[in-house]
């Protein structure tokens, strides 16, 4: 089967079904550096099982200490650029307060630990200008809808660079034989050109030109970071979700990612399976997958991560940014020729 963008590299992909019963943020193709997803119904923010992991830790994903401690995800997930973490974090709390997504009878009787991730977009963006505002975050959260996910130069991925081509947002999914779904979203901003591979083919070495044109900034070659969120509707407990998270680097490596020193490779995995409320004794009764049945989920995580990264690349478009800097898109025609050899 061909991928959504006609490049003919994909192996039997699904048509992007997603397991989150909630929403993805509205990501205008020329929008500012924000984007969000939240596995939530509009009237409440439920607790769902989650886990985190990382490959190289030169980055930030807030709220992970409580996720690791409790095993629950209780907040929307928002992605932005490195220097907008604070603005997005504050706005997320204000959104929760505005919509009364909290327990307790008083407006101030709650605490929130927003989940905000970042990658560095200073090659194309005026990252020191602090252009991401509260209104942008509110717009992302209020306009979040279900359905297909925009990819490429959108949301938090607007200014990102991947393997020295234009990067950004990518998504992919798999429907397992059991009927459960594994879906993934990436913000791809990493990689050396010479490391870039598809199906084991050294695409980056066969397309060595079209390098970024940088002015007023060091032409660093490593890229900086990738954020990955994996979701499933299977009843997996936090320790099982942690096991899925540890497989994400295998998908990154299949495209040529190495977790270099400057990279923040940060991962979050959650399950949308319903958790029954506790009884009068505080006991919740749970369903869980048998560990002997988990291998197809491992395989799906690796494939979804790899595919989402490549989808980000083939969806992205050439972009010019601050100081006349320019980053070229992966050329589809030449990619087809390389893969056909």
Active site members: 225, 263, 265
Question: Which residues touch 170 (CB under 8 Å, ≥6 apart)?
Answer: 151, 152, 157, 185, 186, 188, 307, 308, 309, 310, 311, 312, 313, 315
**Start-to-end C-alpha separation, the chain:** 18
- Tell me if 156 sits within 8 A of 319, measured CB to CB: no
- Tell me if 137 sits within 8 A of 87, measured CB to CB: yes
Question: Hunting for tokens 């008083």 — which residue is that?
Answer: 106
Question: Which residues touch 334 (CB under 8 Å, ≥6 apart)?
Answer: 207
Separation of alpha carbons 35 and 28, rounded Å:
9
Helices (H), 77-229: 85-98, 134-142, 203-206
Question: Hunting for tokens 């949301």 — which residue is that?
Answer: 155
> Which tokens go with 210?
């079209």
Q: Would you tell me the crossing angle of helices 134-142 and 85-98 to the nearest 10 degrees?
A: 50
Separation of alpha carbons 252 and 308, rounded Å:
10
How much of the chain is in helix, strand and coil states, percent to nearest 5? 30, 25, 50
The DSSP bridge partners found for residue 49 are 72
Least Cα distance to 196 among 186, 212, 208 occurs for 208
Separation of alpha carbons 185 and 144, rounded Å:
15
> Which tokens go with 236?
């997996």
């Amino acid at each position: 089967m061909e991928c959504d963008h006609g490049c003919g590299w994909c192996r039997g992909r699904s048509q992007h079904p997603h397991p989150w019963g909630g929403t993805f943020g509205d990501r205008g193709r020329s929008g500012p550096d924000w984007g969000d997803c939240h596995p939530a119904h509009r009237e409440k923010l439920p607790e769902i099982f989650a886990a985190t992991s990382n490959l190289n830790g030169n980055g930030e994903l807030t709220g992970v200490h409580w996720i690791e401690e409790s095993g629950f995800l209780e907040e929307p997930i928002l992605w932005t650029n490195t220097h907008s973490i604070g603005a997005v974090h504050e706005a997320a709390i204000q959104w929760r307060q505005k919509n009364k997504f909290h327990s307790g009878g008083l407006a101030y009787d709650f605490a929130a630990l927003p989940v905000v991730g970042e990658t560095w977009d200073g090659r194309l963006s005026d990252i020191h200008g602090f252009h991401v505002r509260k209104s942008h975050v509110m717009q992302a959260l209020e306009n979040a809808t279900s359905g297909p996910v925009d990819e490429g130069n959108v949301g938090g991925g607007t200014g990102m660079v991947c393997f020295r081509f234009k990067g950004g947002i990518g998504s992919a999914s798999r429907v397992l034989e059991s009927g459960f779904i594994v879906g993934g979203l990436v913000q791809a901003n990493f990689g050396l050109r010479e490391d870039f591979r598809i199906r084991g083919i050294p695409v980056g070495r066969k397309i060595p030109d079209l390098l970024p044109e940088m002015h007023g900034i060091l032409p660093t070659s490593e890229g900086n970071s990738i954020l990955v969120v994996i979701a499933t509707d299977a009843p997996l407990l936090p320790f099982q979700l942690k096991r899925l998270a540890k497989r994400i680097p295998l998908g990154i490596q299949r495209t040529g990612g190495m977790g270099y020193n400057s990279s923040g490779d940060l991962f979050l995995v959650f399950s949308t399976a319903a958790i029954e409320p506790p009884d009068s004794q505080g006991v919740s009764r749970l369903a869980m997958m048998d560990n002997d049945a988990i291998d197809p989920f491992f395989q799906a995580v690796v494939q979804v991560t790899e595919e989402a990264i490549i989808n980000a690349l083939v969806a992205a478009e050439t972009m010019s940014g601050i100081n006349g800097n320019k980053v070229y898109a992966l050329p589809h025609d030449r990619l087809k020729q390389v893969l056909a050899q």
